[in-house]
Structure 1
Amino acid sequence: MKRCLDEVAEIPSDRGSIISDDDSDLDNDEDCEIEIVEDTKVGSDDNGGFDSEDDIPHSRWVTIRNAPIKWSKTETITHPPCFNSHSGVPDFIKDMEDPTPYKLFQLFFTDDLIQNLVFQTNLYCQQGISKYSPTNLSEMKSFVGINLLMGIKSLPTHRDHWCSSAPDLHDPYISQLMTVKRFSWFLTNLHMNDNTLMPKKNQDGYDKLYKVRPLLRDISENFAKCMAPTKELALDESMIKFKGRSSIKQYMPKKPVKRGYKVWMLADKSGYCHKFEIYTGKSEHGIVQTNLGERVVLNLTNEFTEKNHLSAFYCR
């Protein structure tokens, strides 16, 4: 029977196999008979020979008798609809004068976002500290910039950047922006949300990421504003390395980064991240979330419906 199928595969599209019309003879494949008939061109002689090389057989007819036929439903292959949405950098970025790296960074880390850090940090100090020196927008920008520089020039501790007794570690640029005492004060008192309004663990609206939720929300919205997605989208999970103590830390032994924060990310063909969501693990009652992959896909792609995107989802 295998030979039957192999021979049928060689039949040209304009020909077909000669099948018995009697369906009653096609009950089993034990008595399958194959007859291969050479199909010749016009021009062969009476003895079956050929006048030239052009008259050689160009196809075979396969006669299959007493072979079972299995009919299957054939689906018509349709092309995906045309992509009907704009993609790429928006006009307000293209029309920007002198787009320096700092100006582009401000599109994601906006002044409104930093001003919220200033307000919430001062509010936290008013709620718990009797005497303090309030911060402002300029000082908060310096604090954010110092943290970015420390990510580029990594030292054992943040105090080493101000260490005057070790010239190989001392950083004169960072030390002139802010004193080490003031920088340590920011590390202790920096806040992004009002602690007095935070729901308790057993209350409705409880959020493990409540203290950083405004920052995550604003950055995610700015990601979406600064780039229109391409036709191809992909949703997958990513890991942010972290080995400290946290209730939302995940352990995934098959990942290159095995311990850290698990993040769902929606990216396009260029690799640009448009939306993200940090996975917080089980609920406060210890119940595992059901239909997690479905919920994540719907939440991150709800604004891209009816635009004919091609999507690949790798939610596991």
Structure 2
Amino acid sequence: MEYLPFTLKGLTHAELMEEIENIPSDAESIVDEDEADESEHPLRNEICIENLVQDVEDDISDDLWDYDDDIPLINLVQKQEHRIGNDSNILFPEWGITQAVNPAPPFEHNCGITDIVRNVHSKTPYAFFNLIFTDDLLQYLVFHTNLYATQEVKNFIPTTVSEMKIFLGVNILMGLKPLPSYRDYWSSSPDMHDAYISQFMSVNRFGWLLTHLHLNDNSLLPQKNQPNYDKLYKVRPFLGMLSVNFEKCLLPHENIAIDESMIRFKGRSSIKQYLPKKTIKRGYKVWCLADQSGYLYRFQIYTGKVGNVAETNLEERVVKNLTKGL
């Protein structure tokens, strides 16, 4: 906004130069206001008005900054200095650390694989598999599978630990070489038949184990309205034993990570999650604590809210539970 041409309108060039010479310099303008005679300088009032208008514009522009989240730090400092001025009684804010953070103590714990893994006689995949699926866990599977068959009051041939190992091995092979149906491995069609898998047990025996495999006692299953109801009741003991065996094989290093993982599943389940931004969008969500080597040390399957009550402080609860004892 140009005020000077409007103020000096109608003056000749000689008069204009004379008035400009009478405008005080910065050093001359530092005087006592009581001693200043404004009548000596006809342009002083006009110049003061111009400065006042400019100050108002600066204040308006400063106020506009208050509504901007991206205000530069230098503007905040200049704005604070302009408003406070030379008042020595007002303290400027200072940057500093509001809370002292104690450095972590040096990591001196034992870490790495345990003696259980080191003392394995034959370093084969089957030997390491037995460290996770121990004989106690297999005995547990066998007991509850036979218990479930007994509760149905049917004539059956009880399963054994050796047969359970074969059943688990066949399931792993089927995952490596999938077919549309498990019965196709015993198919009479040469393009579907698998001579290696079909030699271990009959298709009827495999189907019986597949439909009778159990991990807990159904007669003790809590109802939904009971306080001890658990959506993972049928697999809870099995998951607990797996977790114990995982921890026996490794002592975690200093660096560990907690994150979520997805197990792909598109069937019907009350604990199935849908995460549209994940690579695996539908399935079971598992909270995992992994060692820096990539080993899964602990895990928890997320079951969602209990009843109609959503869980609060979920992240805090997960981190504290997975790091308990570390």
Off by >6 Å, runs of 4+ in structure 1: none
> Residues 71 and 116 of structure 1: is their aligned pair in 2 closer, same or farther, counting only changes over 3 Å?
same
Which one-letter code corresponds to 1:113 in the other structure?
A: L
1:197-234 Cα deviation digits (max 9, x unpaired): 11111112111111111111111111111011110111
Report the counterpart of residue 154 of structure 1 in structure 2.
178
Q: Quick one: distance in 2 between partners of 1:108 and 1:161?
A: 28
1:130-150 Cα deviation digits (max 9, x unpaired): 311111111111101100110
Q: How does 1:28-177 map to 2 (within 5 A)?
A: 28-29=81-82, 70-74=93-97, 79-165=103-189, 167-177=190-200
Q: By how many angstroms is 1:161 displaced?
A: 0.8
Q: By how many angstroms is 1:30 displaced?
A: 8.5
> Residues 128 and 31 of structure 1: is their aligned pair in 2 closer, same or farther, counting only changes over 3 Å?
closer
Report the counterpart of residue 253 of structure 2 in structure 1.
230
Alignment pair present for 1:215 and 2:229: no
Report the counterpart of residue 303 of structure 2 in structure 1.
280
Which one-letter code corresponds to 2:199 in the other structure?
A: Q
Alignment pair present for 1:259 and 2:262: no
Pairwise CA RMSD: 2.2
Q: By how many angstroms is 1:69 displaced?
A: 5.7
Alignment pair present for 1:248 and 2:277: no
Q: By how many angstroms is 1:95 displaced?
A: 2.6
Q: By how many angstroms is 1:111 displaced?
A: 1.1
Q: By how many angstroms is 1:275 displaced?
A: 0.5
Give the structure with higher Rg (CA).
Answer: 2
Report the counterpart of residue 185 of structure 1 in structure 2.
208
Q: Which runs of 5+ in 2 are unaligned?
A: 1-79, 86-90
Which one-letter code corresponds to 1:192 in the other structure?
A: L
Which one-letter code corresponds to 2:317 in the other structure?
A: R
Alignment pair present for 1:200 and 2:253: no
Q: By how many angstroms is 1:101 displaced?
A: 1.1
Q: Quick one: distance in 2 between partners of 1:31 and 1:250?
A: 56
Q: By how many angstroms is 1:31 displaced?
A: 11
Q: By how many angstroms is 1:29 displaced?
A: 4.8
> Residues 248 and 77 of structure 1: is their aligned pair in 2 closer, same or farther, counting only changes over 3 Å?
closer
* Counterpart secondary structure, 1:230: coil
Report the counterpart of residue 303 of structure 1 in structure 2.
325
Structure number with greater CO (CA < 8 Å, separation at least 6) is 1
> Residues 76 and 118 of structure 1: is their aligned pair in 2 closer, same or farther, counting only changes over 3 Å?
closer
Greater strand content: 1
Which one-letter code corresponds to 1:110 in the other structure?
A: T
Q: Quick one: distance in 2 between partners of 1:289 and 1:252?
A: 18
Alignment pair present for 1:290 and 2:312: yes
TM-score (norm 1): 0.73
Q: Quick one: distance in 1 between partners of 2:164 and 2:312?
A: 41
Q: Quick one: distance in 2 between partners of 1:113 and 1:264?
A: 23
Q: By how many angstroms is 1:77 displaced?
A: 7.0
1:154-189 Cα deviation digits (max 9, x unpaired): 111111111122x23211111010111111111111
Q: Is the 8 A contact 2:120 2:127 kept in 1?
A: no
* Counterpart secondary structure, 1:210: coil
TM-score (norm 2): 0.70
1:225-245 Cα deviation digits (max 9, x unpaired): 101111011111111110000
Q: Is the 8 A contact 2:214 2:234 kept in 1?
A: yes
Q: Which runs of 5+ in 1 are unaligned?
A: 1-26, 33-67, 305-316
* Counterpart secondary structure, 1:239: strand
Provide the identity percentage: 55
Q: By how many angstroms is 1:291 displaced?
A: 1.2
Greater helix content: 2
Count of residue pairs the alignment pairs up: 244
Which one-letter code corresponds to 2:241 in the other structure?
A: D
> Residues 31 and 182 of structure 1: is their aligned pair in 2 closer, same or farther, counting only changes over 3 Å?
closer
